Amino acid sequence: MNPSLALLARSQLDVFYVWQRATFEGKVIIGVLIFFSIIAWSIMATKAVEMRKARRLNRYFDREFRNQRTVLAIHDRKVDVDGCPMFTVYRAGCVELDARLHRDGQPERRTRVSLKGMEHVKRTLERSVAEESLKLESGLILLAIAVSGSPFLGLLGTVWGVMSAFSGIAQSAAAGGRADLASMAPGVSGALITTVAGLLVAIPSMFGYNWLVHNLRVLTVELDNFAQELVSKMETEFLDEDDV
């Protein structure tokens, strides 16, 4: 028989044996950890796809934005780019600027906007950047809970199982039975499986969480830089020189 297959079969038998020796409480905790694992992997996969899409669309939109002659050119074309954070920030700023340029019910767009009006545009852009950052961050709290909570749940199951094992041995010894390593090992091994399960949930969740947080910070900085550049172009084109 292939040595690797034999080792795999032995490992499977060990896990099955330990699972049988686990207490009811330990099995319940392992069930909760499996639920945490499903949630963690679902969040990691979903957020990874979402952030990858956001980066790709941001790159395409930034290239298109830099090729425009005026800051409102894309807005005037009624373009809609769903799922692009940079476009969402751009649209929010342009809508606010366009409203300032059409004040007093004038059908024609004014060529200049006051400094006070430009301050409103800046605050709108800042709010939009914050909202997009929160949208990208949504769901990460559940992943953080899985990272921090899973090891403690596993430890709880282990301590509970060891307590039950020693309690059983003490009762057996009091009744005249044996209290040696052979009688203690099954209960202890059944208790340790919850710690293993907790670490199996926490370790990949930790790597995934750190990777997602890093990408979130990069996207947030890119959005903030874009918003500042957008404001500068808007001021250059539309800010009233008398207010400068």
Dist. CA 97–CA 128, nearest whole Å? 14
- Cα–Cα distance for residue pair 126/152, rounded to 1 Å: 39
Per the prediction, the chain carries an average pLDDT of 82
* CB under 8 A, 24+ apart: contacts of 120-125: 120/96, 121/93, 121/96, 121/97, 121/231, 121/234, 122/231, 124/92, 124/93, 124/95, 124/96, 125/89, 125/92, 125/93, 125/96, 125/227, 125/230, 125/231
Alpha-carbon distance of 49 to 217, in angstroms, equals 16
Q: pLDDT value at position 241?
A: 64
**Does residue 172 surpass a pLDDT of 70?**
no
Binning pLDDT at 50, 70 and 90, where does residue 216 land? very high
| Tens digits of residue pLDDT in 111-140 | 788 888 889 999 999 999 999 999 989 889
Place of tokens 């830099």: 66
Alpha helix positions (H), the chain: 3-21, 24-66, 73-76, 85-101, 115-137, 140-174, 181-238
Q: How sure is the predictor about 170, in pLDDT bands with cuts at 50, 70 and 90? A: low
pLDDT tens figures, 17-39: 666 666 778 788 888 999 999 99
Please report the pLDDT score of residue 80 as a whole number: 85
Dihedral of CA atoms 228, 233, 235, 236 in degrees, nearest 10, equals 140
How much is the CA Rg of the chain, to the nearest whole Å? 30
Check residue 2 and give its pLDDT.
Answer: 45
Please tell me what DSSP assigns to residue 208.
H
Whether 159 has a pLDDT exceeding 80, the answer reads yes
Residue 142 bridge partners (DSSP): none
Q: Indicate whether 214 pLDDT > 90.
A: yes
pLDDT at position 42, please?
94
What does the pLDDT read at residue 230?
92
Tokens 């750190």: give the residue: 210
Q: How confident is the model at residue 168 (pLDDT cuts 50, 70, 90)?
A: low
pLDDT level of residue 61 (50, 70, 90 thresholds): very high
